Chain A
Amino acid sequence: MNASKLSVIGQSLPKIDAWAKVTGETKYADDMVLPRMAHGKLLRSPHPHALIKRVDTTRAAALPGVYAVITGRDLPRIKFGILPVSQDEEALCVDKVRMVGDAVAAVAAVDEETAEQAARLIEVEYEPLKPLMSIEESLASPDVRIHEYGDGPNVHKAVSLQFGDVEAAFAASHLVREDVFFFEGNTHLPMEQHAAVAHWGPDGKLTLWSSTQTPHYVHRLLSKILDTPQAHIRVVAAPVGGGFGGKLDPFAHEIAACKLSQVTGRPVKIALTREEVFYVHRGRHPVLMWVKTGFARDGAITGMHFRSWLDGGAYGSYGVASTFYTGALQTVTYNIPVYKFEGARVFTNKPPCGPKRGHGTPQPRFAVECQIDKAAEQLGLDPADMRRRNLTEPFTKTANHLTVSTTGLGECIDRVVEASGWRQKRGKLPPGRGIGIACSAYLTGAGSAIYWNDMPHSGAVVRADRSGLVAVLCGATDIGQGSDSVLAYLVAEVLGVQPKDIRVHPADTDLTPVDLGSYSSRVTLMAGNAAIQAATRLRDRIFEAAAKKLEVAPAQLAARDRRVFVIDDPDKGMSFAEAVVLGESMHGVLAFPGSYAPPKRAGKYKGGGVGPSPCYSFTACVVEVDVDAETGDVKPAEIWIAHDVGRALNPLLVEGQTEGSVYMGLGEALMEEQVFRKGVHKFPSMLDYKSPTTLETPEIHTILVETDDPEGPFGAKEAGQGPLLPVPPAVANAVHDAVGVRLDETPISPDKVLKALELKRQGKAPRVGPDKLPLFKFPEPKVVESAFGQPAENIAERPFGPQRPFGK
């Protein structure tokens, strides 16, 4: 029996909830049925921008089977939003609607059909206002205001940061390129439509079950919106049928369900239709980008100036963070000694954009990676070699004061180059076939919480039962990524039991310690480290009792294979369950907390809170495509992706996250677009909103690179978002290799490819992409010294165990 070798970590195991999922037993929010439950429906605005002059609910309320009809006047007049700086939403709009789909009233009735009928009987008189449907329109119409706050008329946020002297760097560069790119907006399209069930009990306490990725923030905000103490509200996250960032905001249907439950004295369910999900959105921002980069003769980047304009839609959502994220991680992916970033998010009368897988970073990745491809061509360098020349150094700081710990990007590039046959293929494939490469880096958890405070970002309680069962209580939310399973693996490893011996109780604000939510790829690292700390505390107590019985020192013990035994004499020991009994006899109930907060590394400048992370994942991707010159169709033939995940806690799950990211990146690259005509979504249906099926998704070759990061649980970094980032630019670069045209905007649809090929035939610049920029004056930059190359500080210490113990 080898006491030091890992027994669970690193194994390809089924998820602990896999059996429930393959038998249909998993209960998603809309599968819940409570006695006397009413069904709710929202009435939504058909106008993109209008004043509400009158709402008459009389006819709706009189319809047989209707229990209640409410409007915004039945709710406290308190605006809310996920970020404290953008409190601009109303669950039910009172005076004004800002997009098609804004809710104005809600109905509870005996069934869904009656509720829908009643909603249609509500009379709303609108006075239409001029809709502002693009960044240009919003900036050009300062007299029409979507909101009364922000950094200028219809400007939600404008930021400007400078780290070092970029102009001096450009002046000394061998090559300086300026390019403009556009990344189209798209939406999460989770298979499950959002649903919520609220029960405001006769004891005056409210319970909400919801398909949410962030029960903690919903908990906080419900208290505020409903003007009810947080202590009397319980939020339970149901298993989520796909999130990707789309279930990270508090939503009108959740709030309306709660209020309707209060006024009817019944549980109330509201389940959104697919069309409503398209309007609820909070997806990928459409971003227009200008990037100016200096290069040395050998391809080394000398400095970068990046500008982004984000089409934010009608509300703030996570938009301030999204804006900063379009500028934050350029310096983590590659060495950029000096850096300047300017970004602006503009309100428009469209559904609000927010965090979608990769939150604000796939867009700049597209711009930078396509530009590097162009620069490599100009400099006569191999694009893979040029990227390798620009790797960030491990355990150093970036220009914008972010701390890079481990990085496996060099190995990632080498592995995809090797596996794809890059050297034999690039520039040598037959006409119409091409190969492209791109790289990326991503956070493993946001280093700052939405509400700045000194409390943990994640907590867990691990309890051992006398039977030998181990219960893990943690506020984390499993959205399909397998976070419940990861907690089980980590605790099983520490306690020497099997995942089957563990039951994970997730995301219930009454029972589980807070975890901030399933966003920013934070759960494995943060909840994982908290669970490890809790399990280690539990193990220490059990060892103490077992050691006494075995007449050895606790340090001589190990736990493995459901046994606690003496390392040097493995036959001397006892079962885990026996050790628990001894432990409980000595110490009383065995339930221990673990807490985690990330290192405080925010740069000391305004905006420095967006971008820091305990560690970063790195990815390199090679895509091979076939381009049909007749139809303009781009068909990805094969994809190779290498991802530095720190350590693969369960390789099967990491591969799954990587493959899913690649797939979603392909959809964004080639077909997905959330676009509007006259204020209305062009195609709010799954048939017309194109997403890849089995037929459009090619073979994906996943390579996992391990760098064993000191910050992560057993060395793990993130896997769920980063691998999306390099896919769209790798596709664009492959299209260039195939047919010699540049697609500087997404999606790379057949019409754009044909247009570019036509330009090429005419001898014009073979490029399709944006050619003008909004007239907009960014604020004066805050000039901060570049921290480029400074040594990292405050890195977690080995060995693993209670890493970064929180408190004492």
Chain B
Amino acid sequence: MKTQITLRVNGETRDVVVPVHKTLLEVLREDLSLTGTKHGCELGECGTCTVLVDGVPVLSCLALPVELQGREIKTVEGMADNGRLHPLQQAFAELGAAQCGYCTPGILLTAEALLAGNTAPTRDEVRETLAGNLCRCTGYTKILEAVELAALRMHGSASRGTAEVPKA
């Protein structure tokens, strides 16, 4: 059974006609062509498909769009502001926090939610927040460093996306 749903995605209103059981992950990727949201298990185990709903990290593989009408959904495509990268994106690129890049969108959005509520998280707080997002490439080290650098730039003295790359 298909139904028409109106979703708010990355600040835009989008109408889709989809089967009611189709997951948010599938609708984002297949109906809205937002393939930046990835899938690692489609069972809610790996965090890869994380998006933000009203600013809160949600596993899109377990979320049903019919329940999300009127809510603000944000995917990785919505992180940059008119072509200017989010400080997290900038820091992840500069510090090598994305290797294969497959888990990166989910981790970026989880971290964005953290930094929205905690301007200067400790490393343990970052670890705790990202514990549900698996990454097989990086050993997490550069991810933790990048989140910290982004926090510093967002809430410290550095301005958005323009800080110097720290030498490794």
Using a CB–CB cutoff of 8 Å, the interface residues on chain A facing chain B are: 12, 14-15, 17-28, 30-31, 33, 188-193, 239-244, 273-274, 479-482, 651-653, 655-656, 659-664, 685-687, 691, 693-695, 697, 699-700
Please, which residues of chain B bring their CB within 8 A of the CB of A659? 138-142
Please, which residues of chain B bring their CB within 8 A of the CB of A12? 165, 167-168
Q: Give the complex CA separation of A239 and B89 in angstroms.
A: 19
Min CB distance A267 to B, Å, is 15
Q: Give the complex CA separation of A659 and B141 in angstroms.
A: 7
Q: Give the complex CA separation of A31 and B92 in angstroms.
A: 22
Contact in complex: B137, A23 (CB < 8 Å): no
Partner of B93, one of A22, A30, A662, A699: A22
Flag B86-113 by CB within 8 Å of A: 1 or 0 each. Answer: 0011101111101111111100100000
Residue from B33, B139, B142 with most neighbouring chain A CB atoms (10 Å): B139
Contact in complex: A663, B40 (CB < 8 Å): no
Q: Is the interface of B mostly helix, strand, loop or mixed?
A: loop
Contact in complex: A239, B101 (CB < 8 Å): yes
Min CB distance B134 to A, Å, is 6
Min CB distance A713 to B, Å, is 20
Partner of B144, one of A23, A693, A694: A694
Using CB atoms, name the residue of chain B closest to A687.
B45
For residue B24, CB closer than 8 A to chain A, the reply is no
Partner of A24, one of B42, B105, B137, B144: B105
For residue B43, CB closer than 8 A to chain A, the reply is yes
Q: Give the complex CA separation of A364 and B142 in angstroms.
A: 30
Contact in complex: A691, B136 (CB < 8 Å): yes
Interface segment out of the listed B1-9, B63-71, B72-80: B72-80
Q: Give the complex CA separation of A652 and B41 in angstroms.
A: 30
Residue from B40, B77, B94, B101 with most neighbouring chain A CB atoms (10 Å): B101
Contact sample, A vs B, 21 pairs, CB 8 Å cutoff: A15-B96, A18-B92, A19-B85, A22-B85, A23-B79, A23-B85, A24-B75, A30-B39, A31-B35, A191-B46, A191-B102, A240-B100, A480-B100, A659-B138, A660-B139, A661-B139, A685-B41, A687-B43, A687-B45, A694-B126, A694-B131
Please, which residues of chain B bring their CB within 8 A of the CB of A15? 93, 96, 98
Contact in complex: B95, A274 (CB < 8 Å): no
Partner of B94, one of A14, A21, A242, A273: A14
Q: Give the complex CA separation of A273 and B42 in angstroms.
A: 8
Known: A12-B167, A22-B104, A479-B100. A242 touches B43 (CB 8 A): no
Please, which residues of chain B bring their CB within 8 A of the CB of A27? 35
Q: Give the complex CA separation of A260 and B131 in angstroms.
A: 40
Partner of A241, one of B85, B102, B126, B138: B102
Known: A17-B101, A694-B130. A685 touches B45 (CB 8 A): yes
Q: Give the complex CA separation of A19 and B79 in angstroms.
A: 13
Please, which residues of chain A bring their CB within 8 A of the CB of B29? 31
Contact in complex: B41, A274 (CB < 8 Å): yes
Q: Give the complex CA separation of A183 and B11 in angstroms.
A: 51
Contact in complex: A660, B101 (CB < 8 Å): no
Contact in complex: B40, A700 (CB < 8 Å): no
Q: Give the complex CA separation of A192 and B39 in angstroms.
A: 7
Contact in complex: B35, A193 (CB < 8 Å): no
Using CB atoms, name the residue of chain B closest to A481.
B99
Min CB distance A196 to B, Å, is 16
Min CB distance B90 to A, Å, is 8
For residue B48, CB closer than 8 A to chain A, the reply is yes
Min CB distance A726 to B, Å, is 15
Contact in complex: A695, B99 (CB < 8 Å): no
For residue B132, CB closer than 8 A to chain A, the reply is yes
For residue B128, CB closer than 8 A to chain A, the reply is yes
Q: Give the complex CA separation of A666 and B140 in angstroms.
A: 13
Please, which residues of chain A bring their CB within 8 A of the CB of B100? 190-192, 239-243, 479-480
Min CB distance B31 to A, Å, is 11
Using CB atoms, name the residue of chain A closest to B144.
A694
Contact in complex: B138, A24 (CB < 8 Å): no
Contact in complex: B76, A664 (CB < 8 Å): no
For residue B127, CB closer than 8 A to chain A, the reply is yes
Residue from A15, A22, A691, A697 with most neighbouring chain B CB atoms (10 Å): A22
Contact in complex: B136, A694 (CB < 8 Å): no
For residue B37, CB closer than 8 A to chain A, the reply is yes
Known: A191-B48, A697-B139. A655 touches B40 (CB 8 A): no
Q: Give the complex CA separation of A697 and B138 in angstroms.
A: 11
Partner of A242, one of B92, B136, B141: B136
Please, which residues of chain A bring their CB within 8 A of the CB of B46? 191, 686
Known: A15-B96, A191-B103, A695-B127. A663 touches B138 (CB 8 A): yes
Min CB distance A287 to B, Å, is 22
Q: Give the complex CA separation of A685 and B40 in angstroms.
A: 10
Residue from B33, B96, B133, B142 with most neighbouring chain A CB atoms (10 Å): B96
Q: Give the complex CA separation of A697 and B85 in angstroms.
A: 29
